[in-house]
Structure 1
């Protein structure tokens, strides 16, 4: 009898816990082949004179892939590492290992969706099915109180109906036993230099961010413990100044599942009681869902701007000196410069800081929002296509959430100077 072998294509789901494609592949196959492709398209220059993936995120990604590989090795297998475009490499792989089916998590960004289509096309020619899963959201689409086509375009309405009528499912357990396809050469993890980076030119991201599932769990556990203890000692009146969960990097590439974060918070609330910080993390998870579902519903039509695709392919080169001063943190505006310097150094700034620097670029410097979105794509350690481009579009008045179109920069500055609570999930 022919053995059924399934290739598990890892993308932004670098974990064992709550990973449906992994659980399903193990259950439906005799052996699996985990694969990660280092797609050169994610390390190239863009039309905005930025790179798709900056140094800090690239290093975090390599750490996370290495951590996932180590987990597979403990289970008696490995993670096949392949440098090249998936649609150009996968044909030889499925032939060599006699693969019956390929599993992967579908993305919602136009570029990522197109890559899935290209892979599906080449597999179809070999009569091999590419099975799609959706595992990046807190709520499964089938558990929402409305079909994708009827999801409210305003976040406030989406939040109200979802929190009232939808459920968050339990997580899939991490597999404890896996049968791997036998293989002698599992590939080598690329060095940063091989991906085009010069490590000497970048500043360390520091102790806040280390890639991998275990590091994500450690960060989450410490976060919940610290906030619970502070909140209990203050008799429920803990200060939340400058609060930033800093979970988004692990969520962005799937080292942490949003559902696991949700249930860890619910367990902490059951043990210690609820607090405002926990609520802000849950709000951040809901915003992530909102933008992913908006992209799923509308695609490029989410952006209410004519000729957007042409503008992205051929950006205007006006105001270069203003753009450069913004990037380098040399605008002369103390808070803007502080946050932009922090962004370059660490790959992270909190939500309020992002709102401030984006507002300054779009509404003060009068530079088109796509320039800022592309720069954030390079620099953010927690870059996610839907959240990044969706937030920038709404701030600039080019998105669908009409209530997000007006911003008072003076009010933002005052709030930041007073250290009012901020959060970024």
Structure 2
């Protein structure tokens, strides 16, 4: 009897812990073929002359894929790495290694969904099935207290009902061993130059070092929990002195949201944790994509109280480089450009300023964040920008965001601004 081989297509799930497609493949098949593909689509220059993936996030991605390969090798397996179109490469590998089925985690954003559909169509031509799993949310969609079509558009109502009526599923076991076919050519991890990018420069002003991969993600999660325990972080204190900084690992799936939830809550339903709140927002925006699709972000759903600026390109260029004349906005944008990260409150501030003060099309800001953010996630990025831009929502939802007036207080932001925009204080010296 011939052996059954399942190809596991990794995308934004770069881990071996709590990974359903990997665990199920080891259970259902004799051999598992793990594959990661660097799709040129994500490294092209898109609208506005912006990259879809900037060099800071690309470096983090390369490190994450390298760590995934290492962790698979520790389990006896390996990771095939290719550069190209998944719809061409996956069927080729499937035929080469006599694959019986292909597993992957379902995405919700339109570009990612289209790529999945193209792969699925290509596999159908060779009579193979692409099996979809749900592995990017805290709450499984089958456990929600409402069908997808009836999910509340209000985050406040969504949060209340989900926390009251749903449970987070236990984490999936980590495979004890992975058996792969004899791999002829596992492939090399590309360099930034091969992806058309230059290497980022470490900025000495940064107070945090990012290194991609499941191993460092788990370590930083452990350190975050230790800091919270030592400082006795107040339940429900959104503006903790110790932000988790885990979003980059969560966005690439180096950390499972369920794993983070389990470690932070220790089995309790600690909905007051700022990190749990972040996970809930991620779920909410993903489910909004699932419910509305592209229509959720269409112009018809936006309030259009402001006339757009006539000189949008000029204003957008000043905003990008941090040259608007507003200290917090300029400091935040320079911080983003240098490190790929700014705190969530600052993201809200710069988004509100671009969309409502400068009256520049919010989609330009969303595209710029897509290039620059080390923790970019399609649903969260578009969801946050849409919220700021004026998608109708429950007024109660605004309590989760600081107002622009609060964020522009120089006294509150003095240390931050002096670090990233020292000239703002030069006249005071």
Whether these two folds match at TM > 0.5 is: yes
Q: Does 17-26 or 198-207 show the bigger shift?
A: 198-207
- Match of 2:121? 121
Tell me the SS of whatever aligns to 2:137: coil
- Match of 2:337? 344
Report deviation, 1:413. 2.2
- Match of 2:256? 257
Report deviation, 1:288. 0.3
8 A contact 1:252–1:384 mirrored in 2: yes
Aligned ranges for residues 143-222 of structure 1 at < 5 Å? 143-199=143-199, 203=203, 207-222=208-223
8 A contact 1:230–1:238 mirrored in 2: no
Q: Distance in 2 between matches of 1:303 and 1:239?
A: 27
Report deviation, 1:324. 1.1
8 A contact 1:303–1:399 mirrored in 2: no
- Match of 1:16? 16
Among 274, 285, 288, the alignment partner of 2:282 is: 288
Report deviation, 1:415. 9.3
Q: Distance in 2 between matches of 1:187 and 1:383?
A: 26
Aligned ranges for residues 378-389 of structure 1 at < 5 Å? 378-389=371-382
8 A contact 1:347–1:381 mirrored in 2: yes
Q: Distance in 1 between matches of 2:25 and 2:50?
A: 37
Q: Distance in 1 between matches of 2:137 and 2:410?
A: 31
Tell me the SS of whatever aligns to 2:409: helix
- Match of 1:302? 296
Q: 1:66 to 1:165 in 2, by over 3 A?
A: same
Q: Distance in 1 between matches of 2:95 and 2:332?
A: 50
Report deviation, 1:92. 1.3
- Match of 1:46? 46
8 A contact 2:156–2:396 mirrored in 1: no
Report deviation, 1:219. 0.4
Q: Does 70-79 or 211-220 show the bigger shift?
A: 70-79
Report deviation, 1:3. 1.1
* Structure 1: runs of 5 or more not aligned: 309-315, 420-425
- Match of 2:64? 64
Q: Distance in 1 between matches of 2:108 and 2:100?
A: 26
Q: Distance in 1 between matches of 2:93 and 2:3?
A: 16
- Match of 2:424? none
Q: Does 1:413 align with 2:408?
A: yes
TM-score of the two chains, using structure 1 as the length reference? 0.89
Q: 1:86 to 1:194 in 2, by over 3 A?
A: same
Q: Distance in 2 between matches of 1:63 and 1:416?
A: 38
Q: Distance in 2 between matches of 1:408 and 1:287?
A: 18
Q: Distance in 2 between matches of 1:195 and 1:53?
A: 10
Report deviation, 1:239. 11
Among 371, 387, 412, the alignment partner of 1:394 is: 387
8 A contact 2:67–2:213 mirrored in 1: yes
Report deviation, 1:77. 2.1
Q: Does 347-356 or 173-182 show the bigger shift?
A: 173-182
- Match of 2:91? 91
Q: Distance in 2 between matches of 1:201 and 1:227?
A: 31
Deviations 1:373-425 (A, max 9, x none): 00000000000000000110111113655666898422332398269xxxxxx
Q: Distance in 1 between matches of 2:105 and 2:397?
A: 30
Q: 1:89 to 1:354 in 2, by over 3 A?
A: same
- Match of 1:228? 229
Report deviation, 1:200. 6.0
- Match of 1:422? none
Q: Distance in 2 between matches of 1:123 and 1:350?
A: 42
* Structure 2: runs of 5 or more not aligned: 303-308, 415-429
- Match of 2:315? 322
Number of matched pairs: 407
Q: Does 1:110 align with 2:110?
A: yes
Cα RMSD (Å) of the superposition?
2.8
Q: Distance in 1 between matches of 2:195 and 2:238?
A: 43
- Match of 2:37? 37
8 A contact 1:26–1:178 mirrored in 2: yes
Q: Distance in 1 between matches of 2:43 and 2:3?
A: 37
Q: 1:189 to 1:401 in 2, by over 3 A?
A: farther
Q: Distance in 1 between matches of 2:144 and 2:228?
A: 30
8 A contact 1:361–1:372 mirrored in 2: yes
